[in-house]
Each structure stands twice: as structure tokens, then as C-alpha cells.
Amino acid sequence: MSVRVGVVVFPGSNCERDAAKVMTSLGAQAEMLWHADASVQDCDAVVVPGGFAHGDYLRPGAIARFSPVMSAVAAFADAGGPVVGICNGFQVLTEAGLLPGALQKNRGLKFLCTTVEVRVESPRSVLTSRVAPGTILHIPVNHFEGNYTCAPSTLRELQSDERIILRYVDNPNGSIDDIAGICSPGRNVVGLMPHPERASDPLLGSADGVALLSSLLDAAGGPAKPHGPWAQDRDREMPARLSTAAGTPSSRQAS
Amino acid sequence: MKFDVLVEIRLRPGIADPQGATIERALPALGFAGVSQVGVGKAIRFTLDAPDEAEARAQVEELCRRFLANPVIEDSEMSLSVGAAP
């Protein structure tokens, strides 16, 4: 039976179909999870997609965190289930307290819509287990509030626990320590500003996101959940499987 | 008792305020010299029904902490007064 990935849909989400399409093309079954239903419907992984949940009123994610589905997502995450928040989904996860810190307005007060280089810093997360550290991925960003910030003590914790899993090569938004993506202490909850689902086919300009989303499917279908392969020892040698996962990747190893 | 409540949300010290900075940069061109320390926040007004002022303040504080402000990046300040009779 194929892996079931739940994609949360808030009023104002707008990347849910892109996420579901990639999951389906990778062999998973995608289930839309309406925000008003307090259930993740037996899914093996949950994606909180990009968009403008509840219009981003008050603050991005501030109202979405009170949607009934978020209590189910929190329970799923607490049980070790893989959860990935992309862009607005990252903002929702920080507001919900599933990830630390906050996303403030971009430095320069500019809405950013461009493809950036992102370096994978750690393979120890549900989103990066298939990618060797140092790998540079080309993935689009599309956000106004993507400038990650947190308390100095939180930053030290993220750094020392190797929970900064993605960094910008050329920081576009002022994010602290070039952070593009982080994970929870259990490494099963990940938030990132770049959109891997928009880098899922060479026709879109890059297929580098496939390696990330394939990692998520590994975590969802892994026999050892909730303590899947992403939780293993950090010294484990990670094979770079980009070439098989992404078809014709534009990725390359960092020099 | 009815209370008129004004909650002011502002960015915490050290948090970048690109809106404030942009407004400040625009002012000299309009002939306003000498304006500095521009900060952009939010003002949220509402009325609250509570038994007394202490209870009203406690409720607003909780509301700010859990919802109206994000304590990672924002501070909040409340002003509270007994509302006009209906």
C-alpha cells in the first residue's frame, strides 16, 4: 500500500495542489486535510503548504494555528509523525509552537519571488535524509515574511543540535544565520521557506526539490517510525542519491 | 462591567522594522526634518465584559500572550478604561 500524505488546506492556502501533485508523482497517495476537521485521517506524513492561511490576518499563521486540524497535526507530530511546513506552512508551525522562532518581514521590505541556492547542512531530518550535507539545491522562494529570527539561546540550541538543516548560500531576506529551514528536537517536524514542490520537474527549471520530498516519503513509509532513519547517528555516511531521485538534477556538490 | 481596551503591538527592540525605516527615509523628501525612531506597529481596539478591572487586565494579558502578539518578535501594551454606559 502506498504511503498516505496529508496536505492541510486552510482558507487561503494556495500551494496544496502543487504539493499533492508531487507526492502523487512520487508514488504516494495525497489526501487533502480540510482545516476545520480535527483529524489527519491516518496519514503517514503531513505537509502544511504555502499560501496565505486565513488571509495572513494579524500575522502569518496566527489564526491558522487555532484551526481544528492543527491540534491533530500537533498530536501527530508529538507521536513522531513526519510534518513539513513549507513557506506559510513554516510560519504556521512556528505560531503553533511546533517549531521555535518566528518569521519576520524580509530585510529591505521586499516580497521575494526568485530561485535561490540552498545548502543542505544536515541529513538528519525527515526532509533531508536523502541528501548529502553540503549539497546545493536550486529552489524557488516566494515570500514577504521569510526572515527567520529567534532568541539567542534558541539559536545556540539550533546550532549545537544540528537542527539548522538548510541555509541560504546568498541570504535573500536577512534571516538569522542564513537559516532557510530548521527541524524540531525529534527531527520529525521541519519548516522551510523555499518551495521544494515548485522544484519538482526540469520543466519548472529545477527538480532539486524531489530529493527533499522523497526523503519525506522515506520517513513516512519507513518501517521504524516514529524513530526513522533520519534519527540515526550523525556520523553515518550519507549517500548522495540526487541523480537517481531527481532525474536530471541541476544540483551539485559544494566545493 | 464593560471596558474599552486598546492594545498596542510593537516590534521588540532589535527586531528589524523595515516599514518604520522606509517611512523614516521618505520623510526628508516631504520636508519633514528631525523625525527619527519611526516604528510601525498595530493598534487593536475592542470592548471587554469582565467583573472588574483586575480580571479584565488579566484576560487581556492572556489574550496578548496567546494570540494578539507573537512574543518572539513583538511586545504589547494595553490601555484600559471603563466603557461608556450602553
**CATH number of the domain to which B10 belongs:** 3.30.1280.10
Nearest to B79 by CA among B6, B13, B9, B1: B6
Query: pLDDT > 90: what percent of chain A?
Result: 84
Are the beta carbons of B19 and A105 separated by less than 8 Å?
A: yes
In a domain, B30, yes or no: no
Residues of A in contact with B15 (CB under 8 A): 104, 149
The answer to whether the complex's ipTM is over 0.85 is no
Are the beta carbons of B16 and A59 separated by less than 8 Å?
A: no
Domains identified in chain B, total number: 1
In a domain, B24, yes or no: no
Residues of A in contact with B19 (CB under 8 A): 105, 109
In a domain, B19, yes or no: no
Domain residue limits at B56: 2-14+40-82
φ/ψ of residue B20, rounded to 5: -60, -45
Strand boundaries in A38-82, DSSP class E: 45-48
In a domain, B10, yes or no: yes
Domains, chain A: 4-224 (3.40.50.880)
Question: Is a pLDDT exceeding 50 seen at residue A79?
Answer: yes
Whether residue A109 lies within 8 A of chain B, CB to CB, comes out as: yes
Whether residue B73 lies within 8 A of chain A, CB to CB, comes out as: yes
Q: Which residues of A are catalytic?
A: 87, 195, 197
Higher pLDDT, B67 or A226: B67
In a domain, B29, yes or no: no
Question: Is a pLDDT exceeding 70 seen at residue A232?
Answer: no
List pLDDT tens digits, range A21-41: 999 999 999 999 999 999 999
C-alpha B19/C-alpha B41 separation (Å) is: 9
In a domain, B35, yes or no: no
E strand or H helix at A114, and its extent?
Answer: strand A112-120
Whether residue B66 lies within 8 A of chain A, CB to CB, comes out as: no
Q: How confident is the model at residue B86 (pLDDT cuts 50, 70, 90)?
A: low
Question: Is a pLDDT exceeding 60 seen at residue A236?
Answer: no
pLDDT of residue B10: 96
Sign of CA dihedral A53, A193, A94, A127: positive
E strand or H helix at A12, and its extent?
Answer: none
